[in-house]
Amino acid sequence: MSELEPERLRPLLRGAFGEQYLYAVETDSTQDVLRDGDHPHGTVALAEHQTAGRGRSGRSWEDAPATNLLFSLLLESPADARIPQLSLVAGLAVASALEREAMVPALVKWPNDVLIDGGKVAGILLEATGSRVVCGIGINVNQVADDLPPTPRFPAISLRVAAGRRFDRAAVLVAVLAELEHRYEQWLEIGLAGLADDLERRNALRGRRVIVGGSHNGTADAIAADGRLTVVLDDGRTTLVGSGEVEIAGT
Ligand code: BTN
């Protein structure tokens, strides 16, 4: 029996996120499980394996069955322009929880990845329809190095590779859900500005060379209070960019 089956997971939950829990051994994408239907805020859909897992920008999200965490969380969020900030809220929550579980430093790579030792340990995909946001999270947990997908754009890492031991995936999931709930409540009450210091401490891009709008070179700086990235351009100007407008030089 998998440690992620509902009977095993439910007693461990620390908050409301995950109380509604849809578990599958296999599905196409957990994003689609929550996209339609009448699921309440905080519902989690999780699969041991996805046959059509997707990442950002039309990429696929490959997995090694039953060794990682693949889940989506339904958020009924106030429908306003701040919804894209949720990828940073989720990134901060995942980084904090993984760092605590694995006892290795975890950073947020603006706008939606979590890094350990410079490798991508988790990715976040937000899909919103009005106020209904499906926040998909893939975390590399127990893969050995050979199981990790080759990522030409960015190296991948798992908690197991980073910490040198296997993890109980239920414990990791419960820790991540509790942190997601805590950070989401903070964001609702005080906005991203309330998370700014914690985000900045985990800002993996600060100091990295970036290209803005395909042609302007610069250096990434702080994550701004509205969630955009500050970039100091080589011509001396400072600009704020959204997620589609910047790429890391050399990737
Ligand atoms: C990215 O880094 O591009 C985002 C990856 C998001 C992957 C997760 S796995 C669970 C959920 N279901 C999906 O199909 N994608 C997300």
Q: Indicate which atom in ligand 1 lies nearest the CA of residue 61.
A: 7
Q: Which residues line ligand 1 (CB under 6 A)?
A: 29-31, 50, 53-56, 59, 61, 70-72, 113, 123-125, 136-138
pLDDT of residue 118: 92
pLDDT of residue 199: 96
Q: Predicted confidence band at 1 (pLDDT cuts at 50, 70, 90)?
A: confident
Q: Predicted confidence band at 243 (pLDDT cuts at 50, 70, 90)?
A: confident
Q: Predicted confidence band at 79 (pLDDT cuts at 50, 70, 90)?
A: low
Extract the runs of DSSP E, i.e. beta strands, from the chain.
Answer: 21-27, 44-50, 69-76, 106-109, 113-116, 119-129, 132-139, 209-212, 216-223, 229-233, 238-241, 246-248
Are 206 and 199 in contact, with CB atoms under 8 Å apart?
A: no
Q: Is the pLDDT of residue 150 over 80?
A: no
Q: Indicate which atom in ligand 1 lies nearest the CA of residue 112.
A: 2
Are 111 and 88 in contact, with CB atoms under 8 Å apart?
A: yes
Residue 10 C-alpha to ligand 1 middle, in angstroms? Answer: 23
pLDDT of residue 151: 67
Among residues of the chain, what percentage have pLDDT more than 70?
A: 98
Q: Is the pLDDT of residue 16 over 70?
A: yes
What pLDDT digit, counting tens, does each position of 111-127 carry? Answer: 999 999 999 999 999 99
Residue 235 C-alpha to ligand 1 middle, in angstroms? Answer: 37
pLDDT of residue 5: 97
What pLDDT digit, counting tens, does each position of 193-229 carry? Answer: 999 999 999 999 999 999 998 889 999 999 999 999 9
Residue 3 C-alpha to ligand 1 middle, in angstroms? Answer: 21
Q: Predicted confidence band at 80 (pLDDT cuts at 50, 70, 90)?
A: confident
What is the C-alpha to C-alpha distance for residues 210 and 230, in angstroms, rounded to an integer? 11
What is the C-alpha to C-alpha distance for residues 148 and 84, in angstroms, rounded to an integer? 28
pLDDT of residue 152: 60
Distance of CA 186 to the CA centre of its chain: 17
